[in-house]
Amino acid sequence: MSSDPQPDALVEELQRALAGSEQRLAVILDSLAEAVTIRGSDNHLVHANRAALDRLGFSSAEELRRADPRALMGPYETSDERGEEIGMDDLPSVKLLRGERPEPLLLRAVHRDTGEEQWSLLKATAVRDASGEIEAAVTIIEDVTQSKRAALRMEFMAQIGEVLASSLDYQQTLRNVAGLAVPQIADWCAVDLFTEDGGRESVAIAHSDPAKLRTAARLRGYEPERLDPERGLGLVMSTGESQLYTEIHDEQLVQTAIDEEHLRLLREVGFRAVVIVPLQVHERTIGALTMVSAESGRSFDRGDVEFAEQIAARAALAVESARLYSERSAIARTLQDSLLPEAIPQIPGWELAALYRPAGQEGEVGGDFYDFWELDGEWLMVIGDVTGKGVGAATVTSLVRHTARAASEFDPRPAQVLARIDAALRRRPTVSLCTALCMRLSPRGATIAVGGHPPPLRVGQDGVSELGEHGTLLGALARTHWPESSIELRSGETLVAFTDGVTDTVGAGGERWGAERLRSTLAETRGLGPAELRGRLVKELDEFQVGPQADDTAVVIMRFTGEARVAGSGGKLSGVGAQGNG
């Protein structure tokens, strides 16, 4: 195409047309920061200002004019914003000369040798002759590398923010971060965490091409047990400082390689540049983020290092909070588990089920508790609610539980157990309050004492009724009174003990679930076994509740299956009370 004689004539004509003013025009154009090129109708560049010549790597406009226009793009990998390859025919000036009306083009160019990446915005305008024919196209090329990178990074940081907030599983979070980084930031992205003993754990490695990941997996087999503290990842681990490698020569790969296969794999990656930045928590290096540029051909610079450091800082924070959270959850779980029986026991003549739902975040210890223990062939059950939450409440719960068990050894009467708990709580330096219901289960029925706690309900053929008598809250009051009631039960009758979190559950408009709803639910579900009833209560509460659960919830369901020795609806047989010294 360039051998056609006509274009040469046109160029000369254009140059003549510009003649008088050309000198001035060139001076004006050279003073612009934007690169400006003028393309003749033969697609040759006929002029370029200083900025354009610098970018294209020419010393003079004459040299440029002589060049093959197609060769100008040769040293670059060029693509648009979406990563689609861009050829000369896609340039706005060339389209314009073809008679199209091109949109401005955002062009990404990566130099094949240096890996330098540039983003340019190309806008073309037509120069027409007297007859209105397009004789040339002027392209203004604006270097938008910095703003484009800044925009990409901001967008990336926003995505990272979402990824980091999405999961408390830090390993998954780090995998998501690495996955997000490719291919927009790097061709490869890996995250390693360092172990206390100087080793490392590869948590994530990402590449947009799954075939490449297989190369990574094979490469991992060659990684040494101990990192070399003088180089790469080991250097970052030992110094806590970021490393940037922009020159990776084949000799280095040869040096690193353990055998031929290893070398082949390393060469296959095609390292162009590597950035390794530390993941730091309180100045302690807990891991590293590695970004590798390979087949995309772009290099990394200090700006990329800083950007990687920003990503690493946020990732490190996510790791640390996830670790603290899981530690806290583990402590809370252990503590909570220590406050509840390991399993609901098998008690002859009874079928049992229990429900326990602590309010608030996972990782908080609730103040509700229940316990069962055996004593001389009979069973004692206690359910209660310690005021407060967290470790303080857990301490009190623990005291109550152990006091109850120990007290029952001396005197197994429920009222006496409550009196002992009350005395133990009073000895604490701060006001420690507890509601509790203590029940002694026998093959005939139950003996009940209540200390400031909602009385248990009996569900039987006659409907739902409240059992026991009110007694004093434990831990602080001067005048105390714990009446004890003995209940005879019929086979199939169910006792339901619960904490006030059940009836205080908040629904729409601030309405409480209330004792009436509990009673009617129990009446409707009469005949259900304890496990089914438990499921039904969970469902009812879940459906009613609006917003987060406000209070701990505990329910113990006990169905009496033993032979009833004495028929009748039961009632208070004994009025033995335990009186505190007021």
Partner 1 sequence: MSQTPFEIESVREPDGARLTLSGELDIATVPRVVAAVDSTLTAGVRTLTIDLGGLGFVDSSGLRMFIVLDQRASAEGWTLRLTRPPKQAMTVFRVSGVEQNLPFVEDAV
Q: Which residues bind partner 1 (CB under 8 A)?
A: 385, 387, 431, 433, 435, 451-455, 470-473, 476-481, 500, 504, 509-512, 550-551
Rg of the chain taking only CA atoms, in angstroms: 40
Which residue, 120 or 480, has its beta carbon nearer to partner 1? 480
**What is the closest distance, in whole angstroms, from the C-beta atom of residue 510 to partner 1 in the complex?**
3
Task: Determine the Cα–Cα distance for residues 401 and 404; give it in Å rounded to an integer.
Answer: 5
Element spanning 287, H or E? strand 284-293
State phi, psi for 387 to the nearest 5 degrees.
-65, 140
Distances (CA, A) of 254 to 187, 248, 271, 337: 22, 11, 13, 56
Beta sheet of 35-40, edge-to-edge order: 45-48, 35-40, 134-143, 117-128, 105-111, 76-79
**What is the closest distance, in whole angstroms, from the C-beta atom of residue 479 to partner 1 in the complex?**
5
**What is the closest distance, in whole angstroms, from the C-beta atom of residue 358 to partner 1 in the complex?**
14
Distance of CA 556 to the CA centre of its chain: 35
Which residue, 43 or 480, has its beta carbon nearer to partner 1? 480
**What is the closest distance, in whole angstroms, from the C-beta atom of residue 288 to partner 1 in the complex?**
45
Which residue, 372 or 498, has its beta carbon nearer to partner 1? 498
Task: Determine the Cα–Cα distance for residues 254 and 48; give it in Å rounded to an integer.
Answer: 44
**What is the closest distance, in whole angstroms, from the C-beta atom of residue 499 to partner 1 in the complex?**
9
The residue behind tokens 């008679």 is: 99
**What is the closest distance, in whole angstroms, from the C-beta atom of residue 547 to partner 1 in the complex?**
11
State the alpha helices, DSSP H only, in 275-389: 302-339
Residues 88-94: contacts with CB within 8 Å, 24+ apart? 88/43, 91/122, 91/124, 91/139, 92/122, 92/123, 92/124, 92/137, 92/139, 93/37, 93/39, 93/122, 93/124, 93/137, 93/138, 93/139, 94/39, 94/43, 94/137
**What is the closest distance, in whole angstroms, from the C-beta atom of residue 550 to partner 1 in the complex?**
7
- The answer to whether 457 touches 519, Cβ cutoff 8 Å, is yes
Task: Determine the Cα–Cα distance for residues 378 and 581; give it in Å rounded to an integer.
Answer: 29
**What is the closest distance, in whole angstroms, from the C-beta atom of residue 216 to partner 1 in the complex?**
52
Q: Shortest CA distance to 274 belongs to which of 234, 315, 236, 305?
A: 305
Which residue, 343 or 478, has its beta carbon nearer to partner 1? 478
- The answer to whether 55 touches 38, Cβ cutoff 8 Å, is no
**What is the closest distance, in whole angstroms, from the C-beta atom of residue 572 to partner 1 in the complex?**
17
Which residue, 92 or 471, has its beta carbon nearer to partner 1? 471
- The first and second tokens of residue 226, run together, are 């101990």
Task: Determine the Cα–Cα distance for residues 319 and 174; give it in Å rounded to an integer.
Answer: 8
Which residue, 75 or 360, has its beta carbon nearer to partner 1? 360
3-state secondary structure at position 350: strand
Which residue, 241 or 511, has its beta carbon nearer to partner 1? 511
Which residue, 186 or 473, has its beta carbon nearer to partner 1? 473
Task: Determine the Cα–Cα distance for residues 117 and 36; give it in Å rounded to an integer.
Answer: 19
Which residue, 361 or 491, has its beta carbon nearer to partner 1? 361
- The answer to whether 474 touches 421, Cβ cutoff 8 Å, is yes
Which residue, 172 or 395, has its beta carbon nearer to partner 1? 395
Which residue, 91 or 386, has its beta carbon nearer to partner 1? 386
Mode of pairing for the β-strands spanning 482-488 and 445-451: antiparallel
DSSP 120-132: EEEEEEEEE-TTS
**What is the closest distance, in whole angstroms, from the C-beta atom of residue 450 to partner 1 in the complex?**
8
Distance of CA 30 to the CA centre of its chain: 52
**What is the closest distance, in whole angstroms, from the C-beta atom of residue 471 to partner 1 in the complex?**
6
E strands within 163-216? 188-194, 200-207
**What is the closest distance, in whole angstroms, from the C-beta atom of residue 482 to partner 1 in the complex?**
8
